[in-house]
Chains A and B, each alone.
Chain A
Amino acid sequence: MNVSVCIRRVPDTETRIRVGDDGVSIDTSGVKYIVSPYDEFALEAGLQVTEGLGAGEVTSVTVGDAGAAESLRNSLAMGAHRAVLLEGEVTMDGLATAKALAEELAEADAPLILLGVKAADDDQQQVGPMLATLLARPCATAVTRLEAGDGHVRCHREVEGGTEVVDLPLPCVVTITKGAYEPRYATLKGIMAARRKPLERRPAKLPAARLRVLELEPPAPRPPGRIVGEGVKAVPELVRLLREEAGAL
């Protein structure tokens, strides 16, 4: 079974975020980029599915600018068989992104489409179920582990209050959260092999964004905290402050 994995290039989670001069985007100078962490889990899940079945290819797909090719190369080095760069300007409008992905994936021979549950830059947590809706496919979100069966995939989901096991008929869309999958490192051999793997580029069919950023700002500083004291003797004062000052107890 072929699997498509949607990945997004995002600033490293360690990176300091500064608002750019335009006031609506970040200052990208000196920013290091990575494949969004959940997307690495999704890629690992996809590779394990095809390896487990001993059949099928993994295609990584991204909507992004020319720089996003680097993330696709990373995915090829990890083991994806081919990659597709849909060139276009990514915005916070996840529906626009989902439409560009749907245009590409509607015709692709990939019964299973995997995404991260949430991208580490816009934190929208929406492209997966939107893509599924556009493709009229069933979808399971926040899946920690999946098993490919005959005509379906069995998904283990984290929900509030417990764990749910859902069988989704193929073709379907699944978003992956942290759980069973430990993303593999690219080996030197993998990095060399990635250079010879196909990486297609075409313009993304990306509609205009209808969610507009008016302003990007640093988080409001928290009121300065204080060290109540040292060791056990500070505990009564801490609890008093929590009740009387913070109203939290």
Chain B
Amino acid sequence: MESGAGVVAAFVEQRDGSVRATAHEVVGAAAELARQIGGEAHGLAAGGPGFGAACASLGARGAEVIRVAEGAELAQYQSEGYARIVADMIAGGGYRAVLFPASALGADLAPRVAALLDVPLASDATGLEVVDGGLVVTRPVYGGKAFARVTFDASPAVVSLRPHVFPPGTHAAAGRVEAFTPAGGAPPAGRVVEFRAASGGSVDVAEAEIVVSGGRGMRGPENWGVIEDVRDALGPTAALGASRAVVDAGWRPHAEQVGQTGKTIAPKLYFALAISGAIQHLAGMRTARTIVAVNKDADAPIFNVADYGIVGDVFEVGPALAEEIRRLKSESGG
């Protein structure tokens, strides 16, 4: 359809042909915004042949229309090519706002699209509201030590959303899939020569619903079994994290680092085990929904942000925690 003034677009992130959970959140947020301004939500997607069929499911998340560019060369994300296609979709669409996930892919894509469209971008939003007809975005700044409420003097408003903060959409819409044919002319691009998947198919700290992090109080990498045991008890949606002290000591890879110079995450549940809670660590995890801390020092600053804390030795509390979680899960059959 030719879009009216109230259409909000949402970029649909995929990997290996599957729609990612971030898309459920971004489409949900677009639908909610569209509802407030009296419009509708559209999905914008690119993927390999047949990806359109996978996109129909986004109707259940609130997408009225999903525009999909398909092609063998689009099966894997490619910065320049995707940016060009998504910008083309937006340029003719008359959208009020365009939402991206602030995932690793979204952080790579959204700035390029904004630059191609010549409009500003508000990254990593934790709040969206309509005030007097205008879009107001809330976003953390200074490592989460302040929040800015910002608005746009340009259209469309381009925003990326912090993963896990916005609920997946639940109000169904038509979910009509429309093919989009990209204009030719490939921009200059890099060439991927190798991809190494993280070991053991484990969940990435940036996308996990639950994160179990260990700090210097673990005393050495040989003790990480304690942290892994808690993670394993929590199940396949849990990931390992680490403080910078641990990463700099070479105990854990930097892909696991949480904080100012690591990942910024907002999981449903965060465990800080033997982590003191330095301001730069908090920068990475203070927007987690529920924070649990185990530390032998009752005055550790982590207890100022933790919802629940246990003062005690991680080498005793950790294994007991894993066991109790397993017991509870087997009791409730899940």
Could you tell me the distance in whole angstroms from the C-beta of A167 to the nearest C-beta in chain B?
A: 5
Would you call B254 and A214 a contact (CB within 8 A)?
no
B146 within 8 A of A: yes
Cα A157 to Cα B21 in complex, Å, equals: 22
Nearest-neighbor residue (CB-CB) of B198 within chain A: A162
Name the A residues within 8 Å of B145 (CB-CB): 16-17, 218-219
Q: By the criterion CB–CB under 8 Å, are B316 and A231 in contact?
A: yes
Q: Establish whether residues A138 and B114, one from each chain, have CB atoms under 8 Å apart when the complex forms.
A: no
Binds B, one of A42-50, A81-89, A115-123, A197-205: A115-123
Stretch among A57-65, A105-113, A139-147, A188-196 lining the B interface: A139-147
Give the residues in chain A near B28, CB-CB below 8 Å: none
Cβ contact within 8 Å between B192 and A211: no
Contacting pair B254 A178 (CB below 8 A): yes
Chain B residues near A169 (CB-CB < 8 A)? 188, 190
Closest to A122 in B: B141
Give the interface size class of chain A. 35 or more
30 contacts between A and B (CB under 8 A): A17-B142, A93-B120, A128-B111, A129-B79, A129-B115, A138-B79, A154-B193, A155-B190, A160-B204, A160-B207, A162-B196, A162-B198, A166-B192, A166-B193, A178-B257, A178-B262, A209-B153, A216-B147, A219-B140, A220-B147, A222-B305, A223-B307, A225-B309, A229-B311, A230-B312, A231-B312, A232-B312, A242-B269, A242-B308, A248-B268
Chain A residues engaging chain B, CB cutoff 8 angstroms? 11, 13-14, 16-17, 19, 26, 37-38, 92-96, 98, 120-130, 132-134, 136-142, 144, 154-155, 158-169, 172, 177-179, 209-220, 222-223, 225-232, 234-236, 238-239, 241-243, 246, 248-249
Knowing that A155-B190, A158-B254, A246-B308 are A-B contacts, what are 16 other residue pairs whose CB atoms are under 8 Å apart, sorted by A's residue number?
Answer: A38-B261, A92-B141, A120-B143, A133-B115, A140-B79, A142-B104, A144-B254, A211-B150, A213-B148, A216-B141, A222-B305, A239-B324, A246-B289, A248-B290, A249-B269, A249-B329
Which residues of B are interface residues toward A (Cβ below 8 A)? 15, 79-80, 83, 102-105, 107-108, 110-112, 114-116, 118-124, 136, 139-154, 187-198, 204, 206-207, 210, 234, 254-255, 257, 260-262, 264, 268-269, 279-280, 283, 286, 289-292, 298, 303-313, 316-317, 320-321, 324-325, 328-329
